[in-house]
Amino acid sequence: MIAEFCKNKTKEYFQIAESNIGGLFEDSARDLLKRIQEEYGNKGLTSSMIVYSKIYLSDIVNQAPVLRKLLCEFGFGFYSFIGQAPASGGKIAVENYFIDNPNAVIMSCDKSSSYLNGYKLEYGELRPNGKADICSQTNDLMSQLSDAVNKQNGNILRNLIRTWIYIRDIDKNYKSMVSVRRENFDRWGLTSKTHYIASTGIDGCGEDPCELVGIMYLNAYGVSEEQIHFLEATSNLCATSKYGVTFERGTRVVYGDRAHYFISGTASIDANGDILYSNDVEKQFERVIENISSLLVSAGSGIDDLKYLNVYLRDFSDYSYIDKRVKELKLGIPYIILHAPVCREGWLVELEGVAINGNGNEKFLYF
């Protein structure tokens, strides 16, 4: 399925598709890529318009080498492999983000992709060097993140918009990652009095079994401080710092013709930071939707503006129920349900996504 937002000369598209269940991996992957290509081709899109591809794999160690060859054949540019199994039982799912603007340039390489049109948006992937422990690997990634911004004469405080942090064995390693991230944020001047970064910290792995953490990021250059607003809905959710972590619930970026709303990984939490509805995935899902809706409404949006959803499940046996509940929302957007434990053991389900609407401000450049 493809969702879109079109205004003025710039069109944005989000596509998610997953393979059928069963069969050889290479056959499943080739069939999926053909279906994806046909679907986006019917919209007049080409692979050169893909800003990023996130590819979720059920067995990343064995599947990634096979898939890498296929992606070259199908003309994919920047992509990231994530070791998270589709909860449906399929072997592979693909999430694509396209931008169609005749005046813009999309530049892709192995580790990043940039959209240039007055602004420069850079999506990138970072993997740790060496085979050290989780703290050393996280420090290495934080250093790489800082270097990526510095190369563009920017800084983390002003230019880093969003991160996705994938942690192998999250129940064991999350607290250590959080501690090291906090230390780096302190050094960079990110505090609860300034702001943190919209983020998702979720169980996931890379190809190298010794890799304990990996990061995807979005940096934005040419965006002023006035264009960025951090989402909160204190009647529903407390600040994350209340329970010792350092990320924003969401971030709105306003352009001349639209606004983007990046919703961080959101779970069943209350205004005091407590987990609601332990051991009840049904009620937890309902609370997550309520929390996301409250965040969007607080910033001039709503759940109907969502363009895609990623759903993370601790127990993949909850798939059928959660899939039914997502469909009942009737949002008409692409989504994927992944087997990926959340950062607190009591959370059974977490959601993240992006919303877009036309609530721009004419004093800024168009997107």
Centre a 10 Å sphere on the Cβ of residue 102 and count the other Cβ atoms it contains: 6
Phi, psi of 225 (to 5 degrees): -60, -35
Task: Say if 130 falls within a structural domain.
Answer: yes
Q: What does the pLDDT look like over 117-130, one tens digit per residue? A: 999 999 999 999 97
Q: What does the pLDDT look like over 322-354, one tens digit per residue? A: 999 999 999 999 999 999 999 999 999 999 999
Phi, psi of 39 (to 5 degrees): -65, -45
How many helices and strands, by DSSP H and E, does the chain display?
7, 18
Compute the distance between CA of residue 351 and CA of residue 288 in angstroms, rounded to an integer: 7
The CATH number given to whatever domain includes residue 313 is: 3.30.1330.40
Task: Say if 363 falls within a structural domain.
Answer: no
Task: Say if 364 falls within a structural domain.
Answer: no
Residue 205, domain extent: 2-357
Compute the distance between CA of residue 187 and CA of residue 61 in angstroms, rounded to an integer: 35
Task: Say if 178 falls within a structural domain.
Answer: yes
Domain count, the chain: 1
**Percentage of residues in the chain having pLDDT higher than 70:** 100
Centre a 10 Å sphere on the Cβ of residue 221 and count the other Cβ atoms it contains: 16
- Check residue 274 and give its pLDDT: 94
Q: Which residues pair with 352 in a beta bridge?
A: 310
Indicate if the pLDDT at residue 131 is higher than 90.
no
**Under 8 Å between Cβ of 54 and 80:** yes
Indicate if the pLDDT at residue 52 is higher than 80.
yes
Indicate if the pLDDT at residue 171 is higher than 90.
yes
Q: Which long-range contacts (CB under 8 A, 24 or more apart) does 61-67 make?
A: 61/207, 61/209, 62/25, 63/25, 63/29, 63/91, 63/92, 64/207, 66/25, 66/26, 66/29, 67/29, 67/92
Task: Say if 362 falls within a structural domain.
Answer: no
Task: Say if 366 falls within a structural domain.
Answer: no
Three-state secondary-structure class, residue 248: strand
Is pTM beyond 0.95? Reply is yes
Indicate if the pLDDT at residue 179 is higher than 80.
yes
Phi, psi of 348 (to 5 degrees): -95, -20
- Check residue 75 and give its pLDDT: 86
- Check residue 130 and give its pLDDT: 77
Indicate if the pLDDT at residue 10 is higher than 80.
yes
Task: Say if 365 falls within a structural domain.
Answer: no
The distance of Cα 347 from the centroid of its chain, to the nearest Å, equals: 18
Phi, psi of 10 (to 5 degrees): -110, 125
Distance (Å) of CA 220 to CA 87, 96, 97, 187, 188? 32, 19, 16, 21, 17
Task: Say if 126 falls within a structural domain.
Answer: yes
**Under 8 Å between Cβ of 60 and 206:** yes
Over the range 180-212, which residues count as b (16 or more CB within 10 Å of their CB) and which as e?
A: bbbebbeebebeeeebbbbbbbbbbbbbeeebb
- For tokens 């990623």, what's the residue? 310
**Percentage of residues in the chain having pLDDT higher than 90:** 95
Distance (Å) of CA 23 to CA 20, 65, 73, 91, 140? 8, 18, 21, 9, 39
- Check residue 12 and give its pLDDT: 98
Residue 172 banded pLDDT, cuts 50, 70, 90? very high
Structure tokens at 228: 């960025």
